[in-house]
Amino acid sequence: MGSGAFAGKQVLVTGGSRGIGRAVSLAFARSGARVAFCYQSDPVAAAEVQQMGEGLQIEAYQADVADPAAAAALVAQVEERQGKVDVLVNNAGVFPAAWVVEMTDADWDKVVRVNLFSVFYCSRAVLPGMIAAGGGAIVNIASIAGQRGSARHAHYAAAKGGVLAFTRSLAREVIGHNIRVNAVSPGRIVTDLLLAQQNPQEQARWMADTPAQRLGMPEEVAEAVLFLASPASSYIVGETLAVNGGLLME
């Protein structure tokens, strides 16, 4: 996107201190937006994002968006300090590994709350402002795991599958208010969450599986998010844009 493509727009990115969220936050800021991003527990990483965006309009907020009160408070703070949210990017996520037979109730609950419930909480919180303003855009970060499943990540895959269904459902509800809701579904992207699961044998398998023969970069996902948030995608509603190097073709 051009340097002024989002001039005057207020963007909120959840989970913006690392990986895809960091790339999305910086891409919007470099395109002229006022960006608010939240982080849960790493102020050092959040400060690094602000340093990388020095000279741009980018602010960090601490919030656990898996908690409904915290998500509502986050949106209220952003609206009070920076203005009504024009674009929401629901990106907050966790990606632990566990076999279902060994998965605890707490494991399941945490992953589903962070990856799915937060999408509902934050979307619900920004909608009144978007409706009053006559429009907006919500982009939800899903995952290829939600489309094809993922062994040892059933909780994550179930949550991301829910994100895809929620995206389509909310899109139908709010398009009459000129609010477009879409999703981006990344494949294997070079992030801390993915590399924490990595070993040389696993990486070789990933490369063999992927027609593009490489992992994706967070910046490539960010470009897809900006496209779906921009007027260039004005007739795209309730869709899922795959950024996966051909790993899954539908």
Active site residues: 156
Give Cα 84 distance to the centre of its chain. Answer: 19
Contacts of 196 by beta carbon, 8 Å cutoff, 6+ apart = 95
Count of H helices and E strands in the chain?
10, 7
CB atoms within 10 A of CB 154: 17
CB atoms within 10 A of CB 201: 8
Vertex 186: Cα angle to 180 and 191 (nearest 5):
125
Q: DSSP string covering 76-127, please?
A: HHHHHHH---SEEEE---------GGG--HHHHHHHHIIIIIHHHHHHHHHH
β-bridge pairing 136-141 and 87-90: parallel
The DSSP bridge partners found for residue 138 are 88, 181
